[in-house]
Structure 1
Amino acid sequence: MGVTLISDFNADSREIIARLKDMKQKTLLEAWFMDDSREDPQLPHHRNPCEFMSPDQSRRFALEVESRQDLLDLCPEKVENYEQKLKNFYTEHIHADEEIRYCLEGSGYFDIRDKDDRWVRIWIKAGDLIILPAGIYHRFTLDTSNYIKLMRLFVGEPVWTAFNRPQEDHPARRNYISNFVQKTRMPLEAY
């Protein structure tokens, strides 16, 4: 899937970046295949029976160290147009650059697509780091805690532009598909 997952990583931003440079082993986050329910997106949406991702499914790609950061404090009391922001984050999209997030406080869900176009839900909590490759379809929502504080890490200039699905001709999406097929030696069937 091309997602780098790291959990239980407590440090300030300089220490995070220094540790990332030296880190070789990664501890996996909780990630599972989602049910098809369209109910409240803030619920876990486990399948029945629950189908967790294996460590091999999550441990495929190298970690890159980032150079810039900012903070996102997401909760109803701190964000104007909170409901609209959550709706925008939950709309399936890609980015031209990696999406790198370190969770300082709270918790939420990143949903990504597997090769068969099924949703996989990744639960991030304080101390977790997630890196989504450029071009991967994904979405984000808070869990029922309704709060998360994220450090957003960037390579180069901080840019956050979402391109809503479909984006099959976007260069980042074509590159992601090409790299996925090359690294996994499996065709990507999803569009």
Structure 2
Amino acid sequence: MYDDYEDPDDERPSKSQLKRDMAALQALGVELLSLPEKRVAALNLSEALMDALAEARRIKGAHEGKRRQLQLIGKLMRHVDPAPIREAVAEFKLGRAQDSLQLHQAERWRVRLVEEDTALQDYIDTFPDTDVQQLRSLIRAARKDRAQAPEQRNGRAWRELFQMIKSQVLAQARADGTAGDDADVSDDDHDNHDDSDRDD
């Protein structure tokens, strides 16, 4: 009857606090799964925890096996220093946010270059190392493709233009120290979205 009584003068963590701490560690362990494997390896975690993370990655879906595996990760997390892990997760999230901003910047440049004649000089002023001849060629091809009926567009020039702009935007960001370490983002999501935007 009195098993759950918590003495207010007892300096040990309460049961409810221990439960919260365990839940926080399990949540941090789940966030480890979002990190690239090379970043996880750099944390020098125990072999047991590394194996548990690898197994969790192999389990697809949200069934009972995945839930039990995440609980195991939470238990193993009790034996590690969470501070470096929290720092690594925070740095990764910041890098992804910065990468996203730069990719959106690249997309805005692509739209401007195709839609506005005056944008070319602005772009050259911003990225003076640009291969202007190649850029002009890609802009012309993207405009020509865009003028076609939606079912006749192949989108190749549109994608190549984005690739060129993205590489320059990210290179400039790295030079400025504002690019994340994981800026290798596929263009597919942007291109799939853009194709729908260009069907007007």
With normalisation by structure 1, the TM-score equals 0.20
- Of the two, which has the highest radius of gyration? 2
Query: TM-score, structure 2 length as denominator?
Result: 0.19
Structure showing the higher helix proportion among its residues: 2
Name whichever structure is richer in strand by fraction. Answer: 1
